[in-house]
A and B are shown apart, each in its own frame.
Chain A
Amino acid sequence: MARTYAAHAKPAWQRLLLTREVAVIALLVVVVLYARARVPNFSGPLTLPYLLLDAAPVLLIALPMTLVIITGEIDLSVASVVGLSSVMVGLLHQHGMSIPLAAVVAVVVGVVCGAFNGFLVAYVGLPSLAVTIGTLALYRGIAVGLLGTKAVTDFPDRWTSLATDRIGDTQLPLVVIPIVVLAVGFAVLLHFSTFGRGIFDIGLNRETAHFSGVDVARTKLLLFVMSGAVAAFAGIFYTLRYGSSRGDNATGLELQVVAAVLLGGVSIFGGRGALHGVVAGVLLIGVISSALRLQDVTVNVINIIIGLLLIASVMSTSVLGWVATLRPPGSSTKGQLGSSSAPERVDATSRKEER
């Protein structure tokens, strides 16, 4: 089946606006408008800062995760790196190290964790799903092993308040600054650089990427290192924000991150996705959670909604494809290809085997 550039036959405005990313952004705008109109206190002064503070770790980690997933890999160990980084900060502080120095050490530990993942995936050639399930347990285990069931909580106020302080008189917490810097940085890297084109190439087809001169292994290694470093930074933020360093901090966060990235329109098979969609996806989950909490809906329903949204967003592609097959014959040849659904699926999954 020849790959045709059907999308380029459409006018530019259609190509830019009728995308998964814009759909997520539109949904986000609708939900925000609805919440402002109907949910009491949603437009109050406390909603936005807390929403951003709560969403910050997921938002940070989702940025490199997007790049990792676009290459067709996955990093499930991020939440454990958050935990390990949190424990490092706590332990080093306990032994008298200053917070900034401890933070630097924690980020270095994150880089090492990411490099270990990246080495096993890129140079040994192991499947990232299995590797990072292993390191999920390994890094979490080291974190719990180092600190046991104890917690370090005596952080100086100067640093804990830094995590929750606002920028000037605005409602935006300080953490928005690193988030914006990293988001812009990753967006430029992914969408406007040769390195970024290589990331998409690897996700679409490793072999062709290799023969087009993309250093597949090095790219993957670098992405896992970035993932580890950003996760470690999120761990420092997490520690200071809650003023507590524990081995089990942020347990289960990896699945939230993956859910948000996929909701934002990134394909789990790789080769497809955009950062603005992911940021909108994370914020969408954040806004829904915060609006529901203001209406005294507990966390259970939020779980159900996240799950339904995730399934609906990925199903929409195949449902739309199925609808396309219902068109009268002759209007499109795509219908006939789409009607035998199984080979398409095979097409996508078989790519995974090549790793």
Chain B
Amino acid sequence: MSESTLVAPSRVSPARRALTTVLTSRELAIALVLVVLIAAATAKTDSFLFSQNSWRDLLLTPAILVLLAVGEAVVIITRNVDLSVGSVLALTAYLTGRLFVDHPQIGIVPVFLAGLAMGAVLGLVNGLLVSFGKVPALVITLGTLYIYRGIVLTWAGSNRINASDMPDDFLALGTKTVLSVPVLTIIAVVVLAAVGYYLHTARGGREMYAIGSDPDAAVLYGLSVRKRVTAAFVLSGALAGLAGVVYAARYGTISSGAGLGLELQAVGAVVIGGVAIFGGSGTVWGAAIGAVLLVTINRALPILGIPDFWQQAVVGALIIGAIVLDRALAHRRSRRLVEARDA
């Protein structure tokens, strides 16, 4: 490919172009909605933002959904979907509790590693079935949703792991803060930054976008589609596994019903965050902001005088609104391109 012959270099300075990109980005729009929501809730009740506890909750509560949404976004970018994340979360959350009950001396780091590893293995199963079985991810992960949930139901039965079964310093992680930022939130943000950087710059990340936007072309171009798709599922599984450990630390009580229905919330967060459901576009930043928005709505609605029973309806309206907006923007963009071409 010869450079600069096809398109004249932009005369706008790089800094200005970067600014325009940020200002017109889909992520900024959703972030603005989030800021307005928080501002409205704070205007109504100061303590929504300015009491120490609620500041912590505001940052802490979304941590789990952010982890799930980041993994889900990567999978959806490759034009697949992972419905098993809720069940994976339940399995690793129960594993976490079990490890502390059976091996009280185990320590926190091995438990985190065990959760990550178990999640990654479950994700690998999904990935291998999808990429080698030539079967759509929706069907495979719907199957593993049932299987993984069945395993945790069989394993846990009606057992419940309580806070008293787990060491204090592990549970303290759930509330601990560094410079008033909760530790669990820091974990989620670090994961988000790492995955976001990888997708944005690394070859593997760019290939995932390429696969999602046109699987046909990706194969013809010689990309290792199977490897990348499997990797996306392993990542999603590992992050759901990490979310399971975080769940255990945050809530302290784990039953076999943990994370029921969470997969649809994760997909919802990703869609609200501007990731196209048929792959190839969107960012994990958007997905993460979508997740924070979903969780924050939960807490803000009662303060704004809307009974929290209506929270789910608002979430649904938001998802519909987000995809209609995306369609309208895409429509406008393509019309402009056509005009530019015909001009």
A interface residue numbers (CB < 8 A to B): 74, 76, 120, 124-127, 129-131, 133-142, 144-145, 148-149, 247, 251-252, 255, 258-259, 262, 268-269, 298-308, 310-311, 314-315, 317-319, 321, 341-350, 352-353, 355
Contacts and interface: CB of A to CB of B under 8 A. Distances in A.
Interface in B189-245: 214-216, 218-219, 225-226
A308 B125 CA distance: 13
B26 to A, nearest CB: 15
B136 interface: yes
B146 A342 contact: no
Interface stretch (B31-39, B97-105, B116-124, B137-145): B137-145
Contacts, number: 181
Nearest to B263: A255
Given A145-B310, A311-B143, 19 more contacts: A124-B324, A126-B327, A130-B323, A131-B320, A141-B310, A145-B307, A149-B309, A252-B261, A262-B139, A262-B142, A300-B153, A303-B146, A306-B146, A311-B144, A314-B133, A315-B133, A342-B226, A344-B134, A349-B215
Contacts of B218: 346
A120 B144 CA distance: 30
Contacts of B79: 349, 352
A233 to B, nearest CB: 22
B327 A308 contact: no
Contact of A125 (B83, B143, B271, B327): B327
Contacts of A258: 142
18 contacts: A129-B81, A130-B277, A130-B319, A133-B267, A135-B316, A140-B316, A141-B309, A141-B311, A141-B312, A141-B314, A145-B307, A145-B312, A149-B309, A255-B142, A259-B143, A303-B153, A321-B134, A342-B219
B139 to A, nearest CB: 5
**SS of A interface (majority):** helix
Given A137-B268, A255-B145, A311 B140 contact: yes
Contact of B264 (A137, A314, A342): A137
A135 B315 CA distance: 9
B307 A304 contact: no
A25 B301 CA distance: 50
Contacts of B318: 134
Sorted from nearest, which 9 A-B pairs have the closest CB atoms? A138-B316, A141-B313, A141-B312, A307-B146, A137-B316, A303-B150, A300-B153, A134-B319, A304-B150
Contacts of B271: 130, 133-134
A138 B313 CA distance: 4
A137 B312 contact: yes
B216 A134 contact: no
B250 interface: no
Contacts of B150: 300-305, 307
